[in-house]
């Protein structure tokens, strides 16, 4: 198994673990992004509202599609990132230069990996965003069946992945699964910034310490990279989320969506849910880099041991 496949598997595993740990923050951020300014409240009030209406499970709406999505996303991203990185490193060795990636090379590798990931996984995240935001609620009760004051308001039924897929196909066909793909492609700059900052700080740290970084180092470097990247690209994250949940007749261009939000809600509308998103993004990225680094080393050691055992068995047979 090649190193780029090992990195892809480790990235997928690290992504799933970090996603599960921070998913309630993703729910809070996504709902803040897709609601208008009038509906937004504090993070604490939003949490209470979700729990009262939907129970604790409401904080994990769409977790199944998110776990599937992050595993596929990270596998694809890390496979192509490491493939691009290996190509640059091999070219550097042939030219007699250092194997360490330059800033430009890191950005190009991130652009290649990010673009491939967006095109392959956008349908998964459209479904997940709709489930997390619960765009399709339960139908309103009939006037003759209004609940009395003594009767509790029924909780809306939790959407299912299959149900959302059917709804999307019915509403807009295959094209509905690629809603928001343009801002998503623009947002490729997010992982480019994140991984470029991470790689360059990692290279600097390894040169100073003269050894490879530890999972703890990766945790803090990953957190710093994600903090900068998310803070700079958040307006596009908001636009992408709203385009994912837009109805069939609501799809507009990225610039039109940006202007509409600013006109109706002010500039602050572009930053709805940024507090939980920053916290979630930074914590998720920190755990992702730490988990990925640890999982890669474990996978690499396991593969090395298996190869050694296989070689011993061959010698014994001879």
| Domains in the chain with CATH codes | 3-136+155-313 (1.50.40.10)
Give the pLDDT of the chain (318 residues) as one tens digit per residue.
Answer: 667 788 888 888 888 888 888 888 877 777 766 665 545 556 677 778 878 888 887 788 778 878 888 888 889 888 888 888 888 888 888 888 777 777 788 788 888 888 888 888 888 878 877 777 665 444 444 444 444 444 455 555 666 778 888 888 888 788 788 877 777 777 788 888 888 888 888 888 888 888 888 888 888 888 888 888 888 888 877 777 777 666 555 556 777 778 888 888 888 778 877 777 788 778 888 888 888 888 888 888 888 888 888 888 877 776
Question: Among 241, 231, 44, which residue's Cα sits nearest to residue 129?
Answer: 241
Distance CA 23, CA 74 (A): 16
Nearest-10 crossing angle of helices 103-133, 63-94? 170
pLDDT of residue 101: 75
Tokens matching residue 235: 């307006």
Count of residues in the chain = 318
Residues 62, 132: contact at Cβ < 8 Å?
yes
Using alpha carbons, list the distances in angstroms from residue 124 to 5, 13, 73, 274: 22, 17, 9, 22
Rounded Cα distance, 9 and 27, in Å:
26
CB 126 within 8 A of CB 244: yes
CB neighbour burial string for 149-158, b if at least 16 within 10 angstroms, e if fewer: eeeeeeeeeb
Alpha carbon distances (Å) from 102 to 209, 212, 218: 19, 18, 19
**Neighbouring C-alpha atoms within 13 Å toward the C-beta of 283:** 16
Task: Tell me which DSSP letter residue 191 carries.
Answer: H
CA atoms within 13 A on the CB side of 302: 9
Closest by alpha carbon to 30, among 82, 56, 66, 67? 66
Tokens of 299: 């996978």
Q: Minimal CA–CA distance to 34: which of 255, 265, 232?
A: 265
**Among the listed residues 83, 60, 65, the one whose alpha carbon sits nearest the alpha carbon of residue 11:** 83
């Amino acid at each position: 198994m090649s190193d780029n496949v090992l990195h892809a598997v480790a990235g997928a595993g690290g992504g799933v673990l970090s996603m599960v740990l921070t998913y309630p923050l993703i729910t809070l951020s996504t709902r803040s992004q897709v609601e208008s300014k009038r509906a937004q409240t504090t993070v604490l009030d939003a949490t209470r509202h979700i729990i009262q209406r939907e129970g604790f499970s409401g904080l994990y709406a769409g977790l199944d599609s998110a776990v599937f999505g992050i595993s596929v996303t990270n596998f694809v991203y890390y496979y192509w990132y490491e493939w691009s990185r290996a190509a640059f490193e091999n070219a550097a060795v042939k030219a007699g230069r250092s194997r360490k990636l330059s800033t430009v090379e890191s950005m190009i590798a991130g652009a290649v990996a990010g673009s491939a990931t967006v095109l392959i996984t956008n349908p998964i995240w459209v479904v997940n965003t709709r489930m997390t935001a619960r765009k399709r609620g339960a139908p309103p009760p009939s006037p003759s069946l209004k609940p009395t004051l003594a009767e509790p308001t029924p909780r809306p039924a939790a959407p299912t992945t299959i149900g959302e897929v059917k709804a999307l196909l019915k509403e807009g066909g295959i094209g509905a699964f690629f809603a928001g793909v343009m801002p998503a492609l623009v947002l490729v700059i997010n992982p480019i910034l994140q991984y470029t900052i991470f790689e360059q700080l990692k290279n600097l740290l390894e040169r100073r310490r003269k050894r490879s970084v530890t999972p703890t180092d990766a945790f803090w470097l990953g957190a710093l990279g994600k903090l900068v990247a998310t803070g700079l690209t958040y307006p596009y994250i908001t636009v992408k989320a709203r385009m994912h949940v837009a109805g069939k007749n609501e799809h507009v261009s990225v610039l039109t969506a940006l202007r509409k939000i600013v006109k109706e809600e002010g500039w602050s509308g572009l930053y709805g849910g940024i507090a939980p998103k920053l916290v979630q993004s930074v914590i998720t990225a920190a755990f992702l880099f730490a988990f990925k680094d640890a999982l890669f080393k474990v996978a690499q050691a396991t593969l090395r041991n298996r190869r050694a055992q296989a070689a011993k068995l061959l010698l014994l047979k001879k």
